[in-house]
Every structure is written in structure tokens, then in C-alpha cells.
Structure 1
Amino acid sequence: MASDTNLLKATTDKVVLIGDVGVGKTSIFTRFKSNEFDESSKGHNPKEDKFTKMWKPSGGSEVSITLFDTAGIERHMSTIPPTYFRSAKAVILVYSITDAETFDSLSNWIENAVSAMGVGTGGLVKVLVGNKVDLDSDRQVDRNRAEEFAKNVDINSKFVLETSAKTNKGIDDLFNLVAMEIAPSVKQSPKGGAPKTEKSKCCSQT
């Protein structure tokens, strides 16, 4: 469940949305930001956007997530600056279940993200999201195909989700999953000393 507070912690975890234009990334971003669905977002002016919010999943630690949205600049993949990807703790790969072409382009998106980040992507959380399940009658990409793709690019099946930004289906599940994976957990020192902070191991990518 999301916290209503919008105060920043000393540190925040960067999460980026990537995928083809028209798959609903900005609608997911708006759900995260204000829990609204804005039909007018389809005609927004292309510009990178970001929003920071405290998110506390059920049974997990509260984490400050800064979500980045390409917001239209992805019309030409090469125009996205490498800085968009750098320092990200998680990447949310979005495609539309109603458009197979947006699914087929995901390999290029992953390649570009990893290339921009350079070294140190071993701990990167990757989540595969099929959006627009409210249009299931127009589905072109089934769940099995998504899971097979995830397996080929080393994404754990736990990180394969389907959502509808329009109806809000699966949106909380998406950010609960991300928050649980990147939130620090507290463990007691073996010698009874001060607690140690570690990254959560709840949802291993391997």
C-alpha cells in the first residue's frame, strides 16, 4: 500500500519505466503519482518526468521510490540519454498485450538499458509488465509467451505481471513487488551488536 506522504528520505531508489510509445507507461506513472487515470496523457508533450513517493508494501519496509517516465521521448529510442538509465535500482519493461510489436521490441530496450548502465547491472531488478489487460479481447501476447521471454533474459517468473493502468488492476502489486525487492531489511548482528541493513532477498532474480 502506498503512503500518502510525499517527503523524501536522505536516499531514494531510482526506478525507470521503459518500452515503446503508447504502451501506457505514462498512465502507470500517473497511477503511481496520484492514483488517477488521465486519458489526456496520450497527447502529452514529450519530456522526461519523475516523481518521488514513499511506498510501504504490506509486511515490508517503507522505501522512497523515484519513478522516471520517458513521457514520449522514446519515439526514437536513440534520443533517450544514457543518464535516464544510470543508477537505476529497477527497470520496469512495459508492453501492451494488444500490440505484439511492442513486445517484440523489448529485447532492444533491455540491450539499450544495460549498455547505458555499463558495469554493475548484476543486482538490477527487472520487471516485465503487460499493460492494458482491460482490453483482453484484443490480446496479441499471451502470458506463456511473456514468461518464455522472461526466462530467456533472466527475469524471474515472479517478476512477470499484467496490469491495467485504466482500471488500476495490478498496479499496487507492481510497486509492492519493486519496493519489497529494493527496500533494505534489518538483521541483528551475530554478536549481538547493532542491526545491519541489507537489501531484501524476498524475490531473487536468479
Structure 2
Amino acid sequence: MPLVVRECRKPVGAVARQLGSSRYRSNAGISMIEVLVTLVIVSVGLLGAAAMVINGLESNRNAYLRTQASILAYDMADRIRANGAQLASYTGFAFDSTDEDAPDLPGCFTSDAGCDGAGLANADLAQWAGALEGADGGVVLLPAAQGAIADAGGGDVTITVSWIESQWDEDEDAFTDQAQNFVLRFNL
């Protein structure tokens, strides 16, 4: 079979002019409106990401405060267990770091002779109140901390640690301070 070659009926210049016409040409750049729309979309996304970061930080802080309250309550529970014969010296104790200073350590605490059971209970309570208050240059672990120890009867002891925590209030549409409690109940 013979090879057939067809001729091009249009000259090359005519094809080039047709491809260069507005019908075949694409836009070479972006318009100002496209840039502004993109900027608005990116801004909204960044604001949403910033809000998530702020909420995450606040949740992390609240978890930290709850952990500190737990540590303080279990610390006192361990002190009471170690000096269980003096339970009556511990119960009824209440401390509010916003209204009062932590009690002083008893003199027996620094003496060579040491403390008896009741003196040790007083030293434990003074150290615990100091931790609630952040005394002696210590770090305030809980804002507006309060602590209370109560005899629940039958050998049960209840330790309550309270503090103020910032939380989002849907009704006020803002962060508000709300009282929080950590209650530990244990049996000697």
C-alpha cells in the first residue's frame, strides 16, 4: 500500500494566530478579588485554630489545678495515716488561704527532742496550710485555696480541697471564676 501524505491547507502563521486568540488564551494571573477571598478564608481558619489553642491551654490549666488539689489531699491523708492515733487532732481543721495566714510550726518541730503525736499533728497541719497558701516563698499551687478535714465516722476521714477555677460560662458568654472541690474520703 502506498504512503499517502496529506497537505495542510492553512499556513503555519494562521494556526498560531488562531491559538493566540482570546478564545484559546487562559488568564495569566490572579485578580485582586481572588486574593481578598483567599485572605478572608485563611484568616477565618487561623482564628479558629487560635481559639482551639486557647481552649486547650485553659483545659490544661484546669487539669493542672485539679492535679495539685489531688496531691495536697493525698499528702494530708498520708500524714494522718502515719499519725493515726492522733486523728482527733486533725479533724475539725479548716484553712482558708484568702482570709488567714498559715499557722506557725510548733517549737518541737525544730527541737532535738522532736514532737510527740499531738505536736506532729500540729506540724502536719501547719505545713499543709502553708502548702495551700504558698507560704515561705513557695509557689501558690491553687488560687484561693481552702482545705478542711472532717471525721466522717466509723474511722472514715474526709479531706476537702477547694479552689477557684476559670471556666467558660455559656450564659455570660465569657470566662467566669467558679469554685471547684476535690473530696477525698478514706478509712484509717
TM-score by length of structure 2 reads 0.28
Which one has a bigger Cα radius of gyration? 2
> What TM-score do you get using the length of structure 1 for normalisation?
0.27
Q: Which has the higher helix share?
A: 2
Greater relative contact order (CA < 8 Å, ≥ 6 in sequence): 1
